[in-house]
Amino acid sequence: SDIPGPREYVRDGFNGYLVRGVEEMVERVCEVYTAWRRGDPSYYELCRNARRTAEEYDWGRVVPRLERMFREVAGGGR
């Protein structure tokens, strides 16, 4: 959905779709399904981009960044 949370990490058409209502969601789902059935390279590119984006939000990557940020804010810097 095209709402504040997803807008931070979904790049429309690159790693997912930001849809504005049920009709647009149905259209996008049908497009993705059709691309998958045809073996369209754009489908696989979208999947790769979505996977890379998801990996950026993996706890193994997020926690160390948050720890560094908290240490810097607290003045520890280590």
**Calpha distance 13→35 (Å, rounded):** 13
Nearest to 7 by CA among 74, 52, 17: 17
What's the pLDDT at 22? Answer: 96
The answer to pTM > 0.85 is: no
Q: How far is residue 4 from each of residues 14, 68, 74, measured CA to CA in Å?
A: 17, 26, 29
Amino acid at 24: E
pLDDT in tens, the chain (78 residues): 778 788 888 999 999 999 999 999 999 999 999 999 999 999 999 999 999 999 998 999 999 999 999 999 998 655
**Calpha distance 71→4 (Å, rounded):** 28
- For residue 12, the cross-strand partners are 16
